[in-house]
Structure 1
Amino acid sequence: MSQTTIIIGAIAAGTACAASLRRRDENHNIIMIDKGEFISTAVCGMPMHLSGEIPGEDSLVVMPPAKFIKLFNIDLRLNTEMLSVNAEAKTVLL
């Protein structure tokens, strides 16, 4: 039986963690949860976006969620907030 890992957050660290887990084990069950609607945005470009130099916020998206799901075979749950984690019982409340 393969392990399951739940990753909270789908920005830089979360997506890097998911990619690393997938490279190590093709059968690992990976669930990534983020309360936002985007993954791995280029936050370093945010000042240019806010100043109007970079027009739409979609231009800050490094990889569309559908492509990330297909490439790394993960269960990605955007617009979902993690309410609590019970490590002892190995459960989460969304």
Structure 2
Amino acid sequence: MNGITTITTKGQVTIPEKVRSALGVKIGDKVTFSDIMPSYRQAVIKIIPANIVEELSGSLSSNVRENDYKKARKGAGKLLGQKYKIK
């Protein structure tokens, strides 16, 4: 089975219905791109069901607290603001 689609100006593509149906793709599923071969202009695209992503969410332990995330985001925002001269 083959499918063809066009990349939009936003860099988005729509997976053709017959391909979605054949692969059992549902709203919320994730798409991964791997084995990228620029010289051949091809890559392997895999579908990850949304329920698997939800099941794995939080499964890895972390010593990072939410406050640490907030500080990191704030710092990153300041750096980006300085880089792009945004106030």
Q: Same fold (TM over 0.5)?
A: no
TM-score bin (small chain):
under 0.3
TM-score by length of 2: 0.21
TM-score by length of 1: 0.20
